[in-house]
Chain A
Amino acid sequence: MTHPPRERLRAYAAGEVELTKRLLVEAHLQLCAECPRRVAEYREGAPGLPAATVSDETRLPSFDRVWAAVEQAVPRDASPAAAVLPPSLLGALPDPAGWRWTVVRSDGVRFALLVRDAETASALYVCYIPPRSRFPRHRHLGLEENVVLAGSYQSGDVRVEAGDWVIGAPDTEHTPTTRPDQDCWCLSRLEAPGMRLSGWRGWLWHLLPH
């Protein structure tokens, strides 16, 4: 399995990464046996939660209030896309019923924007490729970081499996393809200015309103 850079894990452990980076790390941590231990090591030396004063105890909301918030926050959608994402990620995202899907091939290859970091314009997408299919050829204009949530895909000579952390450099082009017997769900973080479909799809893409 391939892993995120150590610095990213260190920043995650310190609670210092913005939402799109954080959710990608958490998706990887769910599927990786090694990186959780690294995160624990980084957390080991840092101070824990501070001690509470009487005033903190007094101001604490009642458990019933917190429980009511938990019950309200239960995910409202049971779609396959929502099911493939870990609950901790779903809880940090807008309601799955409102995700905006873009279909890029008639056999069901599609992606949806989940969340965007307004300051860096980095965006997190969930992407689906059915078996025996491919995501149309595209060029990454900014950095791409990708974690496969389920299934696998092939990109050139490289097979990318569940949990793998893949980095695509800006200005690279590829066509991820799936095996005949396996589909692929992945989480992709694209730094601005994102990606552009190659060929006629790219032209069509720019003509259509988004």
Chain B
Amino acid sequence: MPEPDFAWLRINNDENAGAQRLLPRIAAGDREAFHAFYTLYGARVMALVRRRGAAPQLAEELVQDVFVAAWQGADGYRPELGEPERWLLGIARHKLLDHWRRMHRIVAAVGLPLDPVLPDGAAPDTNLRLSLGQAVARLTADQRRVIDLIYGSGLTFAEAAHALEVPAGTVKSRVNAALGKMRDFLTGSPTP
């Protein structure tokens, strides 16, 4: 399918005015408007994410997360909140903050040394970032889901068990298996 032409958005050199017209349409569920919005800002969000230290595969996931959040939040956008670009930047910064905080907790749970302790929301060093992304990618969908509830949403094992409708023992074993798999990967031990 040929790519739609969104050049009209840039002709006036007034991206924000164009984006401001798009957001109500996005809120109403207009896929084409969302595509235009992505064409306008996608690469610049990618630039932000990469400057904050995300490795390539992870950067793609984070950009995707930012635009999913923008889609979900479009009906809450009002011009009083400022230019769409700043609004989107706020979403992107918070997504990055959430991501690195979750990663810090996982690193601590896996038992890797973190010295010095990373400042709140800061990205770990390049090698660790690359490895963490790969380690998470190796988890099964069930393992990722439980890791996300516990280290992302901050739930206890019992709360996560309720949310997933499985026994607490199952949550515990999934977490242990996931952390074990990540530990093996990050420390170079062979995974069966």
Q: Which residues of A contact B (CB under 8 A)?
A: 12-19, 22, 26, 29-30, 33, 36-37, 39-40, 43-44, 46, 48-53, 56-57, 59-61, 63, 65-67, 69-70, 73, 86-88, 90-95, 98-100, 113, 115-119, 123, 210
Q: Contacts A39-B81, A49-B44, A100-B163 given; indicate if A67 touches B72 (C-beta within 8 A).
A: no
Selected contact of B72 from candidates A56, A90, A95, A99, CB within 8 Å? A90
- Taking CB atoms, residues of chain A closer than 8 Å to B42 are 60, 63, 66
Contact A29 B93 (CB under 8 A): no
Q: Contacts A13-B90, A59-B59 given; indicate if A40 touches B72 (C-beta within 8 A).
A: no
Contact B45 A49 (CB under 8 A): yes
Q: Which of B135-175 contact A (CB under 8 A)?
A: 149, 151, 153-155, 158-159, 162-165
> Distance (Å) between the CB of B100 and the closest chain A CB?
11
Which of A15, A57, A65, A117 has the largest count of B CB atoms less than 10 A from its CB? A15
Contact A100 B44 (CB under 8 A): no
A42 to B65, CA, bound (A): 25
The 5 A-B pairs of least Cβ separation, nearest first, read A15-B93, A98-B163, A88-B73, A40-B82, A116-B154
Q: Which residues of B contact A (CB under 8 A)?
A: 31, 34-35, 38-39, 41-48, 50-51, 56, 59-60, 63-65, 67-69, 71-73, 75-76, 78, 80-83, 85-90, 92-94, 96-98, 101, 105, 120-121, 149, 151, 153-155, 158-159, 162-165
A-B contact pairs, 5 of them (CB 8 A): A26-B73, A48-B86, A52-B47, A90-B72, A91-B68
